[in-house]
């Protein structure tokens, strides 16, 4: 039944050659994408010319001319658009960083609550998760901003909390601490963190060599918190508080957290926490039962079993989706535009876009910033995952 294959070659053969097909398909894709890009660019140039809109990035150096209600870095309306961009970016990073911290704490508490042997606590945690994660975040932001924070008393009627804080319709007012030598204290804290890391490494080394466990928690806490305190005392313990003073309409001075900021922070944190709770729960449930039983069998206490056996393995399951949630929170902070917190999207893709009309440049810069944050995080995550991965022997 042997047939001479070569004799059957025809001019049609190249069509069935996977290599040639691959090249043809890819060439078609390149042509299609190239055509799309060409159309987009020429149309955009023509449209911009027709509407008399400038292009290029020169506008960044021009004077912004608008005020921003809250900013981490110094800013006035005479600063440039580039400065306004920086204000938006730092505001986004600020709310994202605080949101991540709060969401993690709340998420872990609720997630552990879901696993509690206490029936009522487990059900309450379940209720929290199911209610919060099935309602759009934007709606929750409106609820915080309009239904909750607008219901607060006027500044004149606000009763002090803990003596010095006032929560009213204008936000949360509190004393602003002013340290005499602020940078020294920050430096001391950084040194403390560095020393604590070194100490931790030494302790791990020692345990691997000798089997002796060194106490970790208190010495590290002492280093991280103690050094700044020592630095503070050594530099003359100069600490003053700038207390807010009630003016005619509002509090002046001191530290004020605007209601927009509070609403965004609360909304983002509690929404993301409901997702983190589920990640924590499934992570801990994902640790095989045998691991816990083995820990019991070799005589570890319940705390030791959790700390040394369950949590390290659960973290391996928890951390990748947790990072995703951190990224989601950062991206979701763009919803600030809906309640008027001056984040990157609100300041840059909102006000600056409207003033300059340079939609292409502004939207591209905004997207590039979020993309950069995502890429940096995923690079860090891949590095971290590679380190945490189980080394099979």
Partner 1 sequence: MHPPPTTFASAPIRWARVNLFATWSNAVLTLTGAALSLWIVAAILDWAVFSAVFTGADGSACKAEGTGACWPFIQAKMGLFMYGRYPDAERWRVDLTYVLALAALVPLMIPRVPGKLWLTIYLLLAFPLIAYVLLRGGLFGLVGVPTELWGGLLVTLVVACVGIAASFPLGILLALGRRSELPIIRYASIGFIEIVRGVPLITVLFMASVMLPLFLPGDITIDKLLRALVGVALFSAAYLAETIRGGLQSIPRGQYEAADALGLSYAQKMGFIILPQALKLTIPGIVNSFIALFKDTSLVLIIGLFDLLGIVQQSVQSDPKWFAHSTATTGYVFAGVVFWLFCFGMSRYSAFLERRLATDRR
Which residues lie near partner 1 (CB under 8 A)?
22, 25-26, 29-30, 33, 39-40, 43-44, 46-48, 50, 116-121, 124, 130-131, 134-140, 142-143, 146-147, 150-151, 331-332, 334-335, 337-338, 345, 349, 353, 359-360, 363, 366-367, 370-371, 373-375
* Residues found in the chain: 393
Shortest distance, position 199 Cβ to partner 1, whole Å:
32
Of 148 and 195, nearer to partner 1 (C-beta) is: 148
Residue whose pair of structure tokens reads 């040194």 in the numeric block = 191
Shortest distance, position 40 Cβ to partner 1, whole Å:
5
Of 43 and 304, nearer to partner 1 (C-beta) is: 43
Between CA 320 and CA 325, with CA 324 as vertex, the angle to 5 degrees is 115
SS3 content of the chain, % helix, strand, coil (to 5): 70, 5, 25
Shortest distance, position 168 Cβ to partner 1, whole Å:
15
Residue whose pair of structure tokens reads 């050594």 in the numeric block = 234
What strand order describes the sheet that includes 165-168? 160-161, 165-168, 171-174, 255-257
Shortest distance, position 139 Cβ to partner 1, whole Å:
5
Please give the Cα distance from 53 to 353 (Å, whole number): 12
Shortest distance, position 34 Cβ to partner 1, whole Å:
12
Please give the Cα distance from 377 to 369 (Å, whole number): 12
Of 187 and 365, nearer to partner 1 (C-beta) is: 365
Alpha-carbon 213 to chain mean position: 35
Shortest distance, position 22 Cβ to partner 1, whole Å:
5
Residue 280's CB is within 10 A of a number of other CB atoms, namely: 27
Shortest distance, position 136 Cβ to partner 1, whole Å:
4
Contacts of 202 by beta carbon, 8 Å cutoff, 6+ apart: 214
Q: E-strand spans in 132-249? A: 160-161, 165-168, 171-174, 176-179, 239-242, 245-246
Helix (H/G/I), strand (E/B), else coil: 115: coil
Of 283 and 350, nearer to partner 1 (C-beta) is: 350
Of 50 and 248, nearer to partner 1 (C-beta) is: 50
- Exposure string of 48-62, with b = 16+ CB inside 10 Å and e = fewer, is beeeeeeeeeebbee
- DSSP code of residue 73: S
Of 195 and 306, nearer to partner 1 (C-beta) is: 306
Of 55 and 205, nearer to partner 1 (C-beta) is: 55
Of 241 and 383, nearer to partner 1 (C-beta) is: 383
Shortest distance, position 334 Cβ to partner 1, whole Å:
4
Both tokens of 45, joined, read: 């140039």
């Amino acid at each position: 039944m042997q047939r001479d294959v070569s004799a059957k070659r025809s001019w049609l053969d190249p069509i069935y050659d996977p290599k040639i097909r691959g090249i043809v398909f890819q060439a078609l894709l390149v042509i299609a994408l190239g055509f799309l890009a060409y159309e987009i660019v020429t149309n955009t140039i023509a449209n911009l010319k027709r509407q008399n809109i400038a292009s290029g990035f020169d506008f960044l150096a021009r004077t912004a001319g608008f005020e921003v209600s809250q900013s981490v870095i110094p800013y006035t309306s005479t600063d440039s658009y580039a400065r306004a961009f920086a204000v938006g970016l730092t505001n986004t990073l600020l709310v994202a960083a605080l949101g991540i911290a709060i969401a993690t704490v709340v998420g872990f508490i609720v997630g552990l609550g879901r696993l509690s042997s206490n029936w009522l606590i487990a059900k309450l945690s379940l209720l929290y998760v199911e209610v919060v994660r099935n309602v759009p975040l934007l709606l929750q932001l409106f609820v915080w901003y309009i239904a909750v924070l607008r219901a607060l008393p006027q500044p004149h009627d606000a009763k002090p909390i803990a003596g010095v804080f006032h929560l009213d319709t204008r936000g949360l007012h509190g004393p602003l601490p002013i340290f005499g030598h602020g940078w020294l204290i920050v430096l001391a804290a950084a040194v403390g963190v560095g020393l604590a890391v070194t100490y931790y490494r030494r302790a791990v080394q020692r345990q691997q060599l000798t089997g002796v466990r060194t106490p970790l928690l208190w010495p590290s806490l002492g280093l991280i918190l103690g050094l700044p305190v020592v630095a503070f005392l050594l530099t003359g313990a100069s600490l003053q508080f700038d207390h807010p003073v009630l003016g005619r309409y509002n509090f002046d001075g001191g530290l004020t957290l605007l209601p927009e900021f509070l609403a965004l922070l609360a909304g983002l944190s509690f929404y993301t926490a409901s997702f983190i709770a589920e990640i924590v729960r499934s992570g801990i449930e994902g640790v095989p039962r045998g691991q816990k039983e083995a820990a019991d069998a070799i005589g570890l206490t319940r705390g030791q079993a959790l700390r040394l056996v369950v949590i390290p393995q659960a973290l391996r399951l928890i951390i990748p989706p947790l990072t995703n949630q951190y990224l989601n929170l950062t991206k979701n902070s763009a919803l600030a535009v809906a309640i008027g917190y001056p984040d990157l999207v609100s300041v840059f893709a909102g006000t600056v876009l409207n003033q300059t009309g340079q939609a292409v440049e502004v939207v591209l810069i905004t997207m590039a910033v979020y993309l950069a944050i995502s890429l940096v995080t995923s690079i860090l995550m891949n590095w971290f995952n590679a380190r945490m991965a189980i080394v099979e022997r």
